[in-house]
Chain A
Amino acid sequence: GQNIDQPTEMTATEGAIVQINCTYQTSGFNGLFWYQQHAGEAPTFLSYNVLDGLEEKGRFSSFLSRSKGYSYLLLKELQMKDSASYLCAVMDSNYQLIWGAGTKLIIKP
């Protein structure tokens, strides 16, 4: 079967750095997406990786290792507004997204 694993919840301090991990087992791989979802709102696109390595976008970076079935989202200089759920999703061989349950990130002052 297809499976995406992420930690359920993480806590970090304002101004610090946090790394959210995602491991996956899917039938085929056509890229990995990270989305941010604030409580009661829609998921919004953060990043996309299809090749191994690090993609940097401002305070957010995403890393992929296809051989290990592993990705992480790195958030730097954490702000209170970063409190949200972070969803990892893999595009499988049928170009459908398989979603993880999400990681709820709590930022403390």
Chain B
Amino acid sequence: NAGVTQTPKFRVLKTGQSMTLLCAQDMNHEYMYWYRQDPGMGLRLIHYSVGEGTTAKGEVPDGYNVSRLKKQNFLLGLESAAPSQTSVYFCASSYQADSNQPQHFGDGTRLSIL
């Protein structure tokens, strides 16, 4: 039972480089989310999706783009990486967005921008 799988687990980039983080879930969840987690701060929502083909901005969307071409996949792109984007990135999914449906998280991607 894989749940939510993120690739890669670690990555080091140079400023200005681009990359894509992949999230895949096998629970047939409609909703998917990308968060970043920084020391001393709560998880912050970057972008989210309420279904295949749809995406929406979260709290901190600048510098990131996303796509949800297939229900099971949610991609997070950094077009031109900046040191401020050094963080741990978590993908999550849920059956619905409302009330008691918990979000299920992947193991995270640790990204360093030099």
Q: Tell which of B41, B45, B106, B107 touches A101, judged by Cβ atoms closer than 8 Å.
A: B41
List CB contacts (< 8 Å) of B69-110 with chain A.
90, 97-100, 102-108
Check A30–B99 contact: CB distance below 8 A: yes
For B97, the closest partner residue in chain A by CB is A95
Count of residues in B whose CB is under 8 Å from the partner chain: 21
* Residue among A42, A91, A98 having the largest count of chain B Cβ atoms under 10 Å: A42
Tell which of A44-52, A59-67, A70-78 binds the partner.
Answer: A44-52
**How many chain A residues touch B (Cβ–Cβ < 8 Å)?**
23
Q: Is the CB of B42 within 8 A of A100?
A: yes
Asked whether B42 lies within 8 Å of A50 as measured between CB atoms, the reply is no
Please, how many angstroms separate the alpha-carbon atoms of A43 and B91 in the complex?
A: 11
Out of A4, A33, A50, A97, name the residue touching B45 (CB < 8 Å). A97
Residues of B within 8 A of A41 (CB): 107-108
B90 and A42 within 8 A (CB): yes
Please name all residues of chain B whose beta carbon is closer than 8 Å to the beta carbon of A96 when the two chains form the complex: 45, 48, 58, 97
B45–A87 contact, CB under 8 A?
Answer: no
Q: Is B43 an interface residue (CB 8 A)?
A: yes
The chain A residue with its CB closest to the CB of B107 is A42
